[in-house]
Amino acid sequence: MNEKKSDKNKPEKPFSRRNFIQAAAMTAATLAIPGCSRKEKPVLTTLTGDFDPLRSYPYRGWEDFYRKIWTWDKVVRSTHSANCTGSCSWKVYVRNGVMVREEQAADYPRINADLPDYSPRGCQKGGCFTEYVYSPQRLRYPLIRTGERGEGKWRRATWDQALTMVAEKLLDNIYNYGPDTNSFFSVIPAMSPVSFCAGSRLAHYIGGVFLSFYDWYCDLPPGEPLTWGVQTESCECADWFNSKYIVLWGSNISQTRIPDAHFAYEARYNGAKIVCFSPDYNSSAIHADLYFRINPGTDGILALGVAKLLIDQNLIDVPYVKEQTDMPLLVLSGTNRFLRESDLKNGGKEDIFYFWDTKQQRAVPTPGSMGSEQKTIQLNGADPALTGTFHVQLADGKTAEVTTVFELLKKEIVGYTVDKVAVRTGLPANEIELFAKELGTRKPAMIIHGAGTNHWFHNDLTNRSFILLVALTGNTGKNGGGFNHYVGQERLWPEQGFFKFAFPETRKKQRFQNTTLWSYVHSTNKDPHLYNGKKIEWYIQESVKNGWMPLWPKDGKKPRAFIVWRANYLNQAKGNEILESSLWKDLDLIVDINYRMDTTALYSDVVLPAASYYEKVDINSTDCHSYIHPFGKACEPLFESKTDWDIFHALAEKMAEVATKKGLKPFHDEVFDWNRDFTQLVHDWTGKGAIQSDEQAVNFILGNAEETKGMTYQQLQEKPKRFIATDPESWNSDIEEGVAYTPFKHQLKKKRPWRTLTGRQQFYIDHPWYIELGEQLPTFKEPVEEKYPLFWNTPHGRWSIHSTWRDHRAMLRLQRGGPIVYMHPDDARKRGLQDNDWVRIHNEVGHCVCRLQILPGEKPGRITMYHGWEKYLGFKEGGWQSLTYIKIKPTQLIGKYGHVNFRLNYWGPTGNNRDIKVDVEKAKV
Ligand code: SF4
């Protein structure tokens, strides 16, 4: 080839968005032609032959392409919303309408000069998102299914055709079966509230059922609503640096908190010691000063053994425990119920409680309980007894024996001796003692808590045991201390603005549903276990009958339509195959709104192409930091995709059009006494026409929240901003200038009551089901019995955020390129397995076939597959959820108990999965 020819090969037109997309498609197509490999291209013959790149190189345009990556027309600030919790601000560089690359924004304002800063933050997935935007996975047009669900046969549809089909079905369901047969599923508003609200507003105005996600994903730590009366409260990650003792418990921050792990590791330069509990020697364990290779599912017994050591060795913070916890509260010996005012006086209140004042030698009402007139927990000179047995006179004149919660706790944990705990956990007794001593003496100390311990059936008990440790040692409510749970991006800072926008006629007029319960009841899921001799179905019926948990649709109806956006329900569903063969069959219409073809999209009837993270306007916040920053439209949505905001706007318009054409009369929704006029739907949906654009939507949320008052979308495009205040309705600490955020300072410093029935950190739950099941106090229960030898561990991984990026070329290259299960060499040897074998993982529920990787760092008795693999991504058979099913814990079904009431994503059964067990054999492939 000569230079003349190479000149001819140079692109004649300047680089443009259209050329780029065409070229990318052509390259992909060429490489996909059988027999046409790069090796056979003349260009490579030249390279391997008489190589003189400056003279004989045939086409140099590509070099220019790379050079020009460092030139751009504009930079737009955006981020990613895959529930990573990172919430990292990025700059997206755009040239000729093409997003050419992204770069971490490094302009987070510093909190103070002594704390490491948040800039720059990001991870390797975020750093290659532009490739996703233009990848073959990208959905380009509305699609309507023509084959079986999951078969992958589609026809291209116009927006009008697809929306008409959806609108007609939703309206038919409302008028023929009731509005509660239309169900809506979207996750994590914090990561893009405008996208979330676009659909939640539609669900709200058409009376649809809005499903939860935080409990269903088992990211909710149920011990927090039980003990603290909050959904989740954690310090921002900069506060890790303030700690002197960091316990990584079930949290592999090096893999799952990539932008923030440095705060913990840098804390070592600030005098902190790091402890790591994890069955596998993982990438966070290598940073630990003390590493405990704990047996899976035994974290609870360890925590209670440590609590016993703290108490026995007088390492507890007595004044803190007396003021801030329910440990001094009195419990009636006969009934195991708290002593209440109603026990002592006729007409007394059910929500006033007592402690024994050693100064007055009598039972006195606890200040700050739900029924108390005093809105403080200040003891005002009283000195509550922590130990002892006392007598009180009841309203009927009889004398009753009472004792303290602390006495009962001591009895509860008396059997958790260090030797017993050492045997069960597989840890050395002397190191458990060392841990207890250090936890009791190094201040402040914190637990960084993750899914590794939260995804178990008895997660509430484990949470409560961990919270107990940091309460006994007086660490909660202090910078650098506490129990800090990070699973899921649940913290929506401008919460009040969000709620006003998401459910405009108030949350009281919305049908909300816990998804774990919905998925269990509307499928053939069956939990074979008995709880206190009763099946879970009995507890479900009682709970629904008592009005503790809602169950939609009512009257034995089945859900008929299911709309999913910003989520991958089927990929993440415990009991995935059971759901597919039951719930899925009952649904007449499944709509998936998505920018890529994931498992849920593949198994849908209508797929609507959505804008990617770099093609829309929205905002983003997280519990990991105290800043807000935006998504930006680096490009208009590619192909025929639309933003979620525009999609639901168009659907609202279409429903109004169909309702008008059909002459539909307003539908009277009896549950809310609401006349729903669907001909006016778009008017309602746009806030009576006031909010047309996504930017207006952002500004509405910002302007209606204390945290962001005065901020505008355009300001956020300039740089991330720290929140300016915290709404006392939603928060338990102020946001302070120069100080990293940590919760519960209101309780510790301002002496505000905790948001619980007793007004204190409540470790004793005297609900009848808790007493019946022996869980009124933190206790240890073994994982739910399964017959197989290996625990099936499916944690968050390094190379994807759940299922997002699972199919990304660059991320697949960093691993073995397909689903892999990790096994300890001993377990492999026992089964005659070699590295890279195809293996069949199986149990009574199902099986999957994938490759094996032998990993000495894995714990014998457990195998691990990092979660999120799409079913179509390299399994020979089945998928990672083929082995799971839904198990509901009875105590998580309670309600109407003081602070424990159903609230979406706040209280309800969690979709746990870590107790599942399996076996592995060589697969015949
Ligand atoms: S994917 Fe999440 S953690 Fe990674 S860069 Fe984006 S926002 Fe940050």
Identify the band that residue 24 occupies on the pLDDT scale cut at 50, 70 and 90: very low
Percent of the chain with pLDDT over 90: 91
| pLDDT over 90 at 107, yes or no | yes
* Full 3-state SS string of 119-132: CCCCCCCHHHHHHH
Identify the band that residue 60 occupies on the pLDDT scale cut at 50, 70 and 90: confident
Highest mean pLDDT (candidates 18-32, 64-78, 889-903): 889-903
Question: Average pLDDT for residues 850-857, to the nearest whole number?
Answer: 97
Match 């390094």 to its residue by tokens.
Answer: 798
Is the shortest distance between the CB of 83 and ligand 1 below 6 Å?
A: no
| pLDDT at residue 54, as a whole number | 58
Q: From 657, 709, 340, 300, select the one nearest 497 (Cα to Cα).
A: 709
What the block records as the tokens of 862 is 């457990």
The whole-model pTM stands at 0.93
Q: 826 alpha carbon to ligand 1 midpoint, in Å?
A: 36
Q: What is the C-alpha separation between 252 and 867, in angstroms, rounded? A: 14
Phi, psi of 633 (to 5 degrees): -90, 90
Q: 576 alpha carbon to ligand 1 midpoint, in Å?
A: 27
Burial class of 909 by CB neighbour count within 10 A (0 to 12, 13 to 18, 19+): buried
Mean pLDDT score across all residues of the chain:
93
Identify the band that residue 68 occupies on the pLDDT scale cut at 50, 70 and 90: confident
| pLDDT over 60 at 473, yes or no | yes
Mutate-to-test residue for ligand 1 from 91, 191, 257, 258, highest number of ligand atoms within 8 A of CB: 258
Is the shortest distance between the CB of 804 and ligand 1 below 6 Å?
A: no
What the block records as the tokens of 394 is 């009841």
Identify the band that residue 751 occupies on the pLDDT scale cut at 50, 70 and 90: very high
Q: From 727, 723, 755, 756, select the one nearest 740 (Cα to Cα).
A: 723
pLDDT digits (tens, 9 = 90+) for 178-204: 999 999 999 999 999 999 999 999 999
| pLDDT over 50 at 245, yes or no | yes
- The SS3 of residue 859 is coil
Q: What is the C-alpha separation between 622 and 193, in angstroms, rounded? A: 12
Identify the band that residue 57 occupies on the pLDDT scale cut at 50, 70 and 90: low
Q: What is the C-alpha separation between 257 and 573, in angstroms, rounded? A: 23
Q: 80 alpha carbon to ligand 1 midpoint, in Å?
A: 6
Would you report the helix, strand and coil content of the chain in percent, each value rounded to 5?
35, 20, 50
Q: What is the C-alpha separation between 783 and 792, in angstroms, rounded? A: 12
Say how many CA atoms lie within 13 Å of 431 toward its Cβ: 15
Query: Which residue type occupies 165?
Result: M
Widest pairwise Cα distance in the chain: 110
| pLDDT over 80 at 289, yes or no | yes
Q: What is the C-alpha separation between 170 and 662, in angstroms, rounded? A: 14
Q: 260 alpha carbon to ligand 1 midpoint, in Å?
A: 11
Cβ contact 862:495 at 8 Å: no
Q: What is the C-alpha separation between 136 and 866, in angstroms, rounded? A: 24
Q: 84 alpha carbon to ligand 1 midpoint, in Å?
A: 6
Identify the band that residue 297 occupies on the pLDDT scale cut at 50, 70 and 90: very high
For helices 459-472 and 299-312, what crossing angle results, to 10°? 20
Which residue lies with its CA nearest to atom 1 of ligand 1? 126
Q: What is the C-alpha separation between 884 and 888, in angstroms, rounded? A: 13
Q: 27 alpha carbon to ligand 1 midpoint, in Å?
A: 29
Cβ contact 338:768 at 8 Å: no
Q: Which residues of 152-190 are buried (b: 16+ CB within 10 A; e: fewer)?
A: eebeebebeebbbbbbbbbbbbbeebbbbbbbbbbbbbb
- The SS3 of residue 719 is coil
Q: What is the C-alpha separation between 734 and 486, in angstroms, rounded? A: 20
Ligand 1 nearest atom to the CA of residue 86, by list position: 3
Which residue lies with its CA nearest to atom 3 of ligand 1? 86
Q: 258 alpha carbon to ligand 1 midpoint, in Å?
A: 8
What the block records as the tokens of 724 is 């300016």
Q: What is the C-alpha separation between 328 and 307, in angstroms, rounded? A: 17
| pLDDT over 90 at 12, yes or no | no
Q: 619 alpha carbon to ligand 1 midpoint, in Å?
A: 14
| pLDDT at residue 58, as a whole number | 67
Percent of the chain with pLDDT over 70: 94
Q: What is the C-alpha separation between 564 and 573, in angstroms, rounded? A: 13
Mutate-to-test residue for ligand 1 from 77, 78, 79, 627, highest number of ligand atoms within 8 A of CB: 79
Q: How many CB atoms lie within 10 A of CB 9?
A: 13
Is the shortest distance between the CB of 847 and ligand 1 below 6 Å?
A: no
Is the shortest distance between the CB of 259 and ligand 1 below 6 Å?
A: yes
| pLDDT over 90 at 21, yes or no | no
Q: 78 alpha carbon to ligand 1 midpoint, in Å?
A: 11
Q: 126 alpha carbon to ligand 1 midpoint, in Å?
A: 5
Is the shortest distance between the CB of 221 and ligand 1 below 6 Å?
A: no
Q: From 177, 85, 907, 184, select the one nearest 503 (Cα to Cα).
A: 184
Q: From 363, 361, 362, select the one nearest 353 (Cα to Cα).
A: 363
Tallying the residues shown for the chain, one arrives at 925
Mutate-to-test residue for ligand 1 from 801, 802, 808, highest number of ligand atoms within 8 A of CB: 801
Q: From 78, 121, 77, 91, select the one nearest 238 (Cα to Cα).
A: 121
Q: 79 alpha carbon to ligand 1 midpoint, in Å?
A: 7
Q: In what order do the strands lie in the sheet with 90-95?
A: 74-78, 90-95, 98-104
Question: Average pLDDT for residues 205-213, to the nearest whole number?
Answer: 98
Pairwise pLDDT comparison (565 vs 36), residue with the higher score: 565
| pLDDT at residue 846, as a whole number | 96
Q: Rounded to 10 degrees, what is the CA torsion of 563, 567, 568, 573? A: -90
Q: 593 alpha carbon to ligand 1 midpoint, in Å?
A: 21
Q: 846 alpha carbon to ligand 1 midpoint, in Å?
A: 34
Ligand 1 nearest atom to the CA of residue 79, by list position: 7
| pLDDT at residue 31, as a whole number | 38
**β-bridge pairing 667-669 and 589-594:** unpaired
Q: From 726, 731, 724, 779, select the one nearest 755 (Cα to Cα).
A: 731
Is the shortest distance between the CB of 253 and ligand 1 below 6 Å?
A: no
Ligand 1 nearest atom to the CA of residue 104, by list position: 5
| pLDDT at residue 706, as a whole number | 96
Q: What is the C-alpha separation between 399 and 867, in angstroms, rounded? A: 57
| pLDDT over 50 at 20, yes or no | no
Burial class of 677 by CB neighbour count within 10 A (0 to 12, 13 to 18, 19+): middle
| pLDDT at residue 70, as a whole number | 83
Match 């997206």 to its residue by tokens.
Answer: 92
Ligand 1 nearest atom to the CA of residue 121, by list position: 8
| pLDDT at residue 62, as a whole number | 79
Is the shortest distance between the CB of 80 and ligand 1 below 6 Å?
A: yes
The number of helices, as runs of H, and strands, as runs of E, in the chain is 33, 34
> How does DSSP assign 464-527, residue by residue?
HHHHHHHHHTT-TTSTT-EEEE-SS----SSHHHHHHHHSTT-GGGSEEE-HHHHHHHTS----
Is the shortest distance between the CB of 86 and ligand 1 below 6 Å?
A: yes
Is the shortest distance between the CB of 629 and ligand 1 below 6 Å?
A: no
Is the shortest distance between the CB of 275 and ligand 1 below 6 Å?
A: no
Q: From 525, 600, 603, 535, select the one nearest 565 (Cα to Cα).
A: 600
pLDDT digits (tens, 9 = 90+) for 669-718: 999 999 999 999 999 999 999 999 999 999 999 999 999 999 999 999 99
| pLDDT at residue 41, as a whole number | 45
Phi, psi of 262 (to 5 degrees): -60, -30
Which residue lies with its CA nearest to atom 6 of ligand 1? 126
Say how many CA atoms lie within 13 Å of 901 toward its Cβ: 8
